[in-house]
Amino acid sequence: MTPSGRSAEPEVIWARPQRAGRGPRPAHSRDSIAAEAVRIADAEGIEAVSMRRVATGIGAGTMSLYNYVPRKEDLYELMVDAVSGEYEFTPPSGDWRADLLALAHRTRELMHRHPWLPRLLSPVYGFGPNALRYLEHCLACLAPLGVPGGEKLELVAAVNGSVATFVAAELALAERARSLPWSEAAEQGVRTAWLGSRLATGEYPLLAAALTGGHPVAEAEADMDAVFDRSVSRLLGAWEQPAHTP
Amino acid sequence: MTPSGRSAEPEVIWARPQRAGRGPRPAHSRDSIAAEAVRIADAEGIEAVSMRRVATGIGAGTMSLYNYVPRKEDLYELMVDAVSGEYEFTPPSGDWRADLLALAHRTRELMHRHPWLPRLLSPVYGFGPNALRYLEHCLACLAPLGVPGGEKLELVAAVNGSVATFVAAELALAERARSLPWSEAAEQGVRTAWLGSRLATGEYPLLAAALTGGHPVAEAEADMDAVFDRSVSRLLGAWEQPAHTP
DNA sequence: CCTAGTTACGTACACCGTACGGAGTCAGGT
DNA sequence: ACCTGACTCCGTACGGTGTACGTAACTAGG
């Protein structure tokens, strides 16, 4: 009546039992599937992760994978939660600002290790076990902050959103270059050439000043750490005093 | 030697001339192609936008489209820039905080009108004509702010990143529901049921308190405007005083 | 006018997610 | 102890995707 992998009902992958009572014991585990998908995505980009590829990667037939992962979206959820398990939490120090800044750095490192993460994180993939652990830890760090719990979650979401977009921008060129038949430098070259030709028209004087005035792109990479730190610090600083609405 | 649509060299779509000198006059325009793609994405979601679909939509053969748009990624760039043209800029008021807050609201409305925008915006699609106009206008609004131009761009990026993640979260459920065979309510139901069952274990006391303590999800929608306004205001407020690094 | 470069587009290929059905395997109820 | 029903495994197949390639029609520059 309701064969396990064939239902057309909504379902949360985490609620589905790993081992059903009845049939033969499964030859694979959810963890090993997630690990294989992460391995492929790290090595060849998220677009290389296909059901066929993951299945053959763990030595299974393509359609066998659907016994473990009913839809491809669920595979993404498994991946996100798997790498979320890489966080190593240290007890809150009492300085919530420092704690959250350090966490943001860990998140950035995580996203550098798994460049597909920002992309997959943007829709709210929902509340796997490691995500719950992470949120609980954030709230523990935010205990000294005197705002209601709901706003603390807003703060965490705002920080993570900023980190995700920051790292996505950081990685945009490199990630694009992966799936392109030419080099990253060549791509970069034609793009800055185009931008330069537009700026040279004089139609965008402020933009031209802002782009050429500061750092000349060469030292930009070295500054990235500083820019990141400053930008997250600013965001956190905005929570120090109550929201200011004139 | 270098046939227009067949090159394997990197290329920025904006640098490619719309009309080449030599051949027959093109039967379509870049604008009409972008408009068709936007129409499809608005009506049926971004995943419905395929080269075939857009081509038949404007009454062309599939492969003819490749004369205008060398890769699908370029189609996305056209779409982003096309809707960026919907901004109607008013002259800077002198209050940069108010101006940028208003712009953020326009961006949010734009993303509600085109729910696929946050997704496509996350990697830095590059500097089409309307994006350049937008940036120039932002810088004009930020003229009263006494920081270097580079940091102004950081501010704009931070605001846009926050808006994008905010709206992405707002739209996540509705957008997910579009491509799913069951209703949004059913999906929502099983997800909150799962979350409730996890919270009931007592493993996440802070999270449980934060989620149940505040608004009971029902009135959350009505509050979205206020939450958005407050969150952007906070971010802007963080730029009032110099970055604070203890 | 010629011809080179461009437009238009049909065909084809490799790949994708996944519906379906059949065979093998095991636990629970009788 | 056996049967039966649920479950695992997986081959096949379908309708879709992006796009490489080849060919025919057309048009502007020399």
Query: What separation in angstroms does the CA of B152 have from each of A28, B16, B144?
Result: 51, 30, 11
Residue A174: closest CA among chain B residues belongs to which residue?
B123
Region of poorest pLDDT, from B22-26, B27-31, B216-220: B216-220
Which pLDDT score is estimated for A28?
96
For residues A224, A226, A227, A233, the Cα torsion angle rounded to the nearest 10 degrees is: 140
Q: A51 with A62: CB under 8 angstroms?
A: yes
Residue B175, number of CB atoms within 10 A of its CB: 19
Cβ–Cβ of B161/A157 closer than 8 Å?
A: no
Calculate how close chain B gets to A139, using CA atoms only, in Å. Answer: 6
CA–C1' span, B120 to C5, in Å?
A: 35
Chain C bases closer than 7 angstroms to a protein Cβ:
4-12, 15-21, 24-28
In this complex, which residue's CA is closest to the C1' atom of nucleotide D9?
A: A64
Cα gap A136→A118, rounded to integer Å:
21
CA–C1' span, B117 to D27, in Å?
A: 39
In words, the CATH class of domain A28-82 is mainly alpha
Cβ–Cβ of B124/A230 closer than 8 Å?
A: no
Cβ–Cβ of A229/B245 closer than 8 Å?
A: yes
pLDDT per residue over B112-167, tens digit each? 999 999 989 876 667 899 999 999 999 999 999 988 898 899 899 889 988 988 89
Query: What separation in angstroms does the CA of A25 have from each of A20, A66, A176, A209?
Result: 8, 15, 41, 66
Cβ–Cβ of B166/A161 closer than 8 Å?
A: yes
The conformational region for residue A38 under phi > 0 = left, psi -120 to 50 = alpha, else beta, is alpha
Cβ–Cβ of A194/B127 closer than 8 Å?
A: yes
Contacts of B219 (CB under 8 A, 6+ apart): none
Classify residue B213 by burial, with Cβ atoms within 10 Å: 0-12, 13-18, 19+. exposed
Q: Where are the domains of chain A?
A: 28-82, 85-237
Which pLDDT score is estimated for A87?
98
Dihedrals φ, ψ of B18, to 5°?
-70, -35
Kindly list the residues from chain B whose CB atom is less than 8 angstroms away from the CB atom of residue A107: none
Mean pLDDT of chain A: 88
Given a cut of 70, whether residue A217 has pLDDT beyond it is: no
Cα gap B64→B51, rounded to integer Å:
10
pLDDT per residue over B87-100, tens digit each? 999 999 999 999 99
Which pLDDT score is estimated for B181?
72
CATH architecture of the region A85-237: Orthogonal Bundle (1.10)
Which pLDDT score is estimated for B182?
75
- CATH ID of B4-17+28-83, from 3.40.50.300, 3.30.1490.20, 1.10.10.60, 2.60.120.380: 1.10.10.60
In words, the CATH class of domain B85-179+215-237 is mainly alpha
Among candidates B9, B154, B210 on the partner chain, residue whose Cβ is nearest the Cβ of A150: B210
Given a cut of 70, whether residue B242 has pLDDT beyond it is: no
Calculate how close chain B gets to A49, using CA atoms only, in Å. Answer: 18
Cα gap A168→B125, rounded to integer Å:
11
Classify residue A158 by burial, with Cβ atoms within 10 Å: 0-12, 13-18, 19+. buried
Continuous H helices in chain B: 30-44, 51-57, 72-84, 96-113, 117-121, 129-141, 149-178, 184-199, 205-213, 220-237
Which pLDDT score is estimated for A6?
61
Q: What band does A163 get if pLDDT is binned at 50, 70 and 90? A: very high
Chain D bases closer than 7 angstroms to a protein Cβ:
5-13, 16-22, 25-29
Contacts of A235 (CB under 8 A, 6+ apart): A158, A159, A162, B158, B235, B238
Tokens for A224? Answer: 């990235």
Q: What band does A7 get if pLDDT is binned at 50, 70 and 90? A: low
Mean pLDDT value across residues A211-234? 76
Given a cut of 50, whether residue A3 has pLDDT beyond it is: no
